Structure 1
């Protein structure tokens, strides 16, 4: 199914020209900034309501938004690629968030962040090599080593392990959730030859959101009273930010970058977004920001700069 929409120029420019490459880099920075900010928004949201319920609300609203403004979303699901779109939506949205959010309830936040972000950067690169999209290079290997060192420095003081079985299951859930995201991302790239990033984002939000609705009804204590929390302005604002900027803007950019750069380079936001989250966490929640955190941030930004350059 070919694109039937006229997407904004910022997302439609050709990557072949110098202008296109500069635009992609600018969009990468926007995406990393937004996804760094969503860490703070998500933290506020999941402390006010059941976490899978919050994720389900997000993607139901995203799906409704795309159905309203983007022609071809339902057609993509009904067409010959429908099964693959369904699979990627369930992997990227349902599997990822259900497993990650459950695992994060049983694992220290530092360990959860370190495992998730490392798995994204390494997993996307590994899967891209298996599919022949990437070749081993010293540049990307160095970037991964620096980035992982930076993540370790950033989360060092929040990496306590208690050793209980529930914690081990939580770690396994985080690993599996991260792998779901990586696999879904890599499988999404070929779909962009047949649909626009807007159509694919909308279709994946629709299928992933439906899966999250089923899970929250089955696993969480959800009732009509759960919606009352949306009356709190801060929670509603966070949900709106996640819908409009976290998915409609940032995830659509991510799909464009996967098409133009490949999944391995696009996934390097995993080394930039934590720096944004670190600064916002210090401002919003008084979280520590010292020499070790600054060193970790410098290593991660350096890693992204090394790998993004051609």
Structure 2
């Protein structure tokens, strides 16, 4: 199917916006407590989605039997994913965080789907995992062997990785729930529940959380919050699912190889984020692994990357 001009424009928009969301998050958490910055955004996103359903006369609340599972997957998808990733982001560049997330997401989705009996491995998928792991060793192995490893950078990369794994596990665990809940309903509920749990936890234990609730963030952080909510979540995810509908799952998924490059380039040009040849090689290997995981013949569930999540399917219906 030949792409129309509007479809190409939507794809370019997605690649650019999702290539800059990590930079917006890094900008926001520089002055705002990460739990408040993320929790408030996801709670608002959930309220928007559920309000749309209510306005259309559609059901909002799930059956009582699903509440325990809903709470569990919401904490995985939003609460743990966001707080662990954002604290990790404090110690690595936005470009590296974007590469880790984009490369790891399709591979981790596959592994969890296989572990839960939803899919099976094939040789292509094994090769994807080998490439991804090789990229991690290229990124951190030389410094580790030479005794120059930056422990805080390693901590940051581990945080982004663990947060991404929480998201992927939660994503796979939501699939059985879609036999009862509509995708829009499930997205709104997980956003709202996960966001509220994150916000409440932040106010209970996170340093600076109550001060952040005064919302005197300064215009850069506030604009970053709005950017993550509206273009980063609502608009881009709507466009993504429109493309999945019109193009199929694999073609729109190639954003995963373009948006990290945008993040790296913008980070280097505007924020002086370092990029050495070994970093570039490691990133290339990780993205190659993602390519094989997403390419035809490797069945991986379609999913938006962790920072955006599936928050705007309602707008595409």
Task: Quote the offset at 1:212 in angstroms.
Answer: 0.8
CA change 1:128–1:280 in 2 (3 A) is same
CA change 1:187–1:86 in 2 (3 A) is same
Partner of 2:51: 68
> Aligned runs of 1:1-310 on 2, under 5 Å?
33-71=16-54, 75-78=60-63, 80-103=65-88, 113=97, 120-150=105-135, 153=138, 161=149, 176-220=162-206, 221-223=208-210, 226-230=213-217, 232-250=218-236, 253=240, 273-289=259-275, 291-310=277-296
User: Take 1:216 and 1:182, find their aligned partners in 2: how far apart are those partners?
Assistant: 23
- Paired residues, what number? 284
CA change 1:25–1:149 in 2 (3 A) is farther
Task: Quote the offset at 1:222 in angstroms.
Answer: 2.5
Task: Quote the offset at 1:95 in angstroms.
Answer: 1.6
Task: Quote the offset at 1:90 in angstroms.
Answer: 1.5
Structure 1's unaligned 5+ residue stretches are 1-17
User: Take 1:173 and 1:73, find their aligned partners in 2: how far apart are those partners?
Assistant: 38
CA change 1:91–1:192 in 2 (3 A) is same
CA change 1:246–1:175 in 2 (3 A) is same
SS of the residue corresponding to residue 218 of structure 1 reads helix
User: Take 1:181 and 1:217, find their aligned partners in 2: how far apart are those partners?
Assistant: 22
Q: For the Cα contact (< 8 Å) 2:25–2:86, is it kept in 1?
A: no
Q: TM-score, normalised by structure 2?
A: 0.68
User: Take 2:103 and 2:83, find their aligned partners in 1: how far apart are those partners?
Assistant: 19
Moved more, 265-274 or 300-309: 265-274
Q: TM-score, normalised by structure 1?
A: 0.70
CA change 1:188–1:177 in 2 (3 A) is same
Partner of 2:313: none
SS of the residue corresponding to residue 114 of structure 2 reads helix
User: Take 2:277 and 2:158, find their aligned partners in 1: how far apart are those partners?
Assistant: 31
Task: Quote the offset at 1:115 in angstroms.
Answer: 7.0
Deviation per residue, 1:207-253 (Å, 9 max, x gap): 011101111101222335643434x3322221111112333345564
CA change 1:280–1:73 in 2 (3 A) is farther
Q: For the Cα contact (< 8 Å) 1:53–1:222, is it kept in 2?
A: yes
User: Take 2:195 and 2:12, find their aligned partners in 1: how far apart are those partners?
Assistant: 27
SS of the residue corresponding to residue 59 of structure 1 reads helix
Q: For the Cα contact (< 8 Å) 2:84–2:163, is it kept in 1?
A: yes
Q: Say what the alpha-carbon RMSD is for the aligned residues.
A: 4.4
Q: For the Cα contact (< 8 Å) 2:106–2:294, is it kept in 1?
A: no
Structure 2's unaligned 5+ residue stretches are 297-317
Q: For the Cα contact (< 8 Å) 1:58–1:239, is it kept in 2?
A: yes
User: Take 2:149 and 2:47, find their aligned partners in 1: how far apart are those partners?
Assistant: 41
Identify the structure with the greater helix proportion.
1
Deviation per residue, 1:50-106 (Å, 9 max, x gap): 11111112112212322332337862435654433332212100121223334555x
Partner of 1:15: none
SS of the residue corresponding to residue 77 of structure 1 reads coil
Task: Quote the offset at 1:306 in angstroms.
Answer: 3.1
